[in-house]
Amino acid sequence: MSDTRSYSSLTQSVQDTSSYVGFANLPNQVHRKSVKKGFEFTLMVAGESGLGKSTLIDSLFLTDLYPDRVVPTAQDRIKRTVQLDANTVEIEERGVKLRLTVVDTPGFGDAIDNTDSFQQIIKYIDQQFDRYLRDESGLNRKNIVDNRVHCCFYFISPYGHGLKPLDIDFMKQLSNKVSIVPVIAKSDCLTMAEIKRLKVRILEEINAAGIKIYNLPDVDTDEDEEYKLQVAQLRESIPFAVCGANAMVEIGGKKVRGRQYPWGIVDVENPEHCDFIKLRSMLITHMQDLQEVTHDVHYENFRSERLARGGGGATSKPAEAGRTDQKDQMLAEKDEELRRMQEMLAKMQQQIKQQSSTNLAAYNN
């Protein structure tokens, strides 16, 4: 009787196995491969000096990217030009590795005349696109390092009544090259009512100027309600009003990352105090989408323009190199042929001399 039960269970297992192929395991394979390879992300931070860009980045990723930074004096800023400072750090969390590159723009907006101050930034973004295009067109395409700028946090001063002309020019020039996320810096100096009015004003000016900022992708209908609500809240929070803090303060016996004021403590990770948590949530949950937008939209636009102009530096340089190698080879063959002919001519002259000497000796005899 027991043998019958074991046979029937074995038959059942065989039937179950026969209807199971195994491709449902593919996502696990992709997951393991991605975790093993690690992830790359490049974030650019732009805005005037003194808006807390470095502090916010350190707060977002719990790291210290600028330990030895020297703050320039007002006299130094007069002569200072826009520079680009790229810092790369390897971050690991629960076995997942992230190669984070933060591109800072010290000197932006510091000069008296800021006309075309964003040209260096545009040049840097194009250089990274061009570099990726060359690597993609090369022989070794397996180990391409992606240094393209995937996202740009643009910091807006909280002390004005909206956007400055420099803010509008910058975002308008870069909106077709990188995904821009507007950020209201040092929002702890504003009341909640002032933040709300400033957000409305900034969005109105962005729309009036025809600036394309990063829009969160639409949520699929089969997603759970909690995720839909989270995305809706993130959409409503743009532009994000944030403040950063590297110091730990104590609130009710609990250590939090915040700022101590005479009137109280600002907890940067409290959603009621600022949008820091929302900004971090947006960046982490949509990091893959930001990379896809960079590759499928901004990079493809750059690549199409280059190819339309005759290939640009990426395809013309290999072709020129090939033509140069071919010319060198032809010249080498010509030199070799000339050398052989000279040797043959020398041999013939030697033979003629020997024959003449022999004939002369025979004649004398």
pLDDT above 80: residue 318: no
pLDDT tens for each residue of 264-279: 888 888 888 888 888 8
pLDDT tens for each residue of 29-79: 665 666 666 678 888 888 887 788 888 887 877 776 666 655 555 555 545
pLDDT tens for each residue of 191-237: 889 999 999 999 999 999 999 999 888 888 877 888 888 888 888 88
pLDDT tens for each residue of 237-264: 889 988 888 778 877 778 887 788 888 8
Contact 161, 201 (CB under 8 A): yes
Q: What is the pLDDT of residue 314?
A: 44
pTM summary value: 0.70
